[in-house]
A = this chain, B = another copy of it.
Amino acid sequence: MSNKPTNPLASLQAMLDRKNSLDSEDFAAFMDKEDPLRRFRDRFQFPTLGSIPCETTGDQDSPCIYLCGNSLGLKPKQADVYMEEQLANWGEQGVFMHFNGRIPAALADQPGKEITASIVGAKSVSSVTIMNGLTVNLHLLMMAFYQPSGRKNKILIEDHAFPSDRYAVRSMLRMKGVGEEGMLMVKPRKGEETIRTEDILEMIDKNKDDIALVMLSGLQYYTGQKFEMDKISRAGKQAGCMVGWDLAHAVGNVELKLSEWGADFAVWCSYKYLNSGAGGIGGAFVHERHHGDMPPHLEGWWSNAQDTRFEMRDKVDPAIGADAFRLCNPPPWLAALNFASLEIFQEAGMEAILTKQFLITGYLEHLLTTRLSNHLKVITPKDTNHRGCQLSLVFNCDLNAVHHRIQSRGIICDVRYPNAMRIAPAPLYVSYCDVLQFVDILQEALEFCK
């Protein structure tokens, strides 16, 4: 991270040399023209004003402004092609589909592994696997890496972790015979929205005799805060803990270097920034240091190495690395959707995605704070090292009417009642003009609903 700019405004200002106002349509259009990722926008299908299930005003064929990629990413058009191929394979080949076709069903989780490994910063492709859903994977990995031992039996999580993670951790504690007091919670200081890294590090250090597992999200789903995964992973390992990450909102969104940081495991879903469709196939990372000597974990026939699986041995001949955590034969349908999206990531490159993310989120922040700060507050950190694509906005008014109004103009975004809006200008398909138009429409709605 050392060499990277940390101030998007400075970078944007540099471009302004050739334009005259950051707020102008002209500037947004200019940024789009210069955008090295602009050709990817057309690789996604956009909902239109006429195709979404709400009343809208405006040209019914015009695309919506989609700022909800933190919830469900847009569909890569290629997803249709790969899915149709899978359906054709099934129909035309029956059981032969297991080992034939572009993405053979029985091997369907393999083609995406290399790109996935590079997205999460795994040193070895065998450190990642593509399987199941996120919470299933969280359990499978915790089952192995959460090893309570005497007093060192606690799990450190955030006070405001996504409910599924809290439920998962609580039920895992119960299953391993540890009481509710096994949940150690870190939270923001009074009056603050986000958690300070120093407080997390101190919590780990102070409780190193009690913490068995540090299990945080890479990027907080509500505030948009990106945790300093490098520092926290290192501190966790130094304190003799296992370290696991829920990367639901981080994968495909921010830079990840899991191997380098030394995390023991990570899990993620693919339906947000990875654009792989609702309920899409999840993923998991297991650090290389464990590959030679995996902790006891749950097994099934897919834990077995591919080349000896059908010998149907009495005992598992384990697959190398994270694949040993697989249990079932993979669903080619989900793997095909996932692969259609991963190809775009490979082509675009995480580097370019991160660069545009830095700029476009900064642009959004600039417009919101200069034009609408009497209506809303951005609770996501200003420091770009502590955030990704998403900005979380808290309003001082009833959001219901505002949300309704902007939706009728074709803005698709996420609202968390009572008064928070999460806006994610996903770099692969959101344009600078989208962002400007969103702010214009939001401003109009805020004034209208006053």
Contact = CB atoms under 8 A, between A and B. Distances in A.
Of the listed residues A94, A328, A334, the one surrounded by the most CB atoms of chain B closer than 10 A to its CB is A94
Nearest to A104: B278
A353 interface: no
Given A92-B45, A296-B175, A135 B302 contact: yes
Interface in A58-107: 64, 66, 68, 71-72, 74-75, 77, 79-80, 83, 87, 90-98, 100, 105-106
Contacts of A175: 143, 296-298
A279 B330 contact: yes
A172 interface: yes
A299 B331 contact: no
Contact of A92 (B47, B170, B280): B47
Chain A interface SS verdict (over half): mixed
A98 B278 contact: yes
A435 interface: no
A282 B330 CA distance: 12
B93 A167 contact: no
A166 B51 contact: no
Interface in A258-312: 269, 277-282, 296-304, 312
A68 B98 CA distance: 13
Contacts of A269: 328
Of the listed residues A68, A279, A337, the one surrounded by the most CB atoms of chain B closer than 10 A to its CB is A279
Given A172-B298, A330-B279, A68 B95 contact: yes
Interface stretch (A35-43, A230-238, A313-321, A377-385): A313-321
A278 B72 contact: no
B52 A304 contact: no
A304 B136 contact: no
A168 B91 contact: no
Interface in A116-159: 132-136, 138-139, 143
Contacts of A166: 314
A302 B79 CA distance: 26
A278 B133 contact: no
A191 interface: no
Contacts of A66: 94
15 contacts: A45-B90, A45-B91, A52-B93, A53-B93, A53-B100, A72-B94, A74-B91, A75-B91, A80-B87, A90-B278, A95-B414, A105-B279, A164-B302, A277-B331, A279-B332
Instruction: Please provide the 4 A-B residue pairs with the shortest distance between their CB atoms, ordered closest to farther.
Output: A133-B328, A279-B331, A135-B300, A45-B91
Given A53-B100, A139-B300, 19 more contacts: A45-B91, A47-B92, A52-B96, A72-B94, A95-B412, A98-B278, A106-B278, A133-B328, A134-B328, A135-B300, A135-B302, A135-B327, A136-B136, A166-B314, A168-B300, A171-B316, A331-B331, A333-B333, A333-B337
Interface of A: 45, 47-48, 51-54, 64, 66, 68, 71-72, 74-75, 77, 79-80, 83, 87, 90-98, 100, 105-106, 108, 132-136, 138-139, 143, 162-164, 166-168, 170-172, 174-175, 269, 277-282, 296-304, 312-316, 327-334, 337, 412, 414
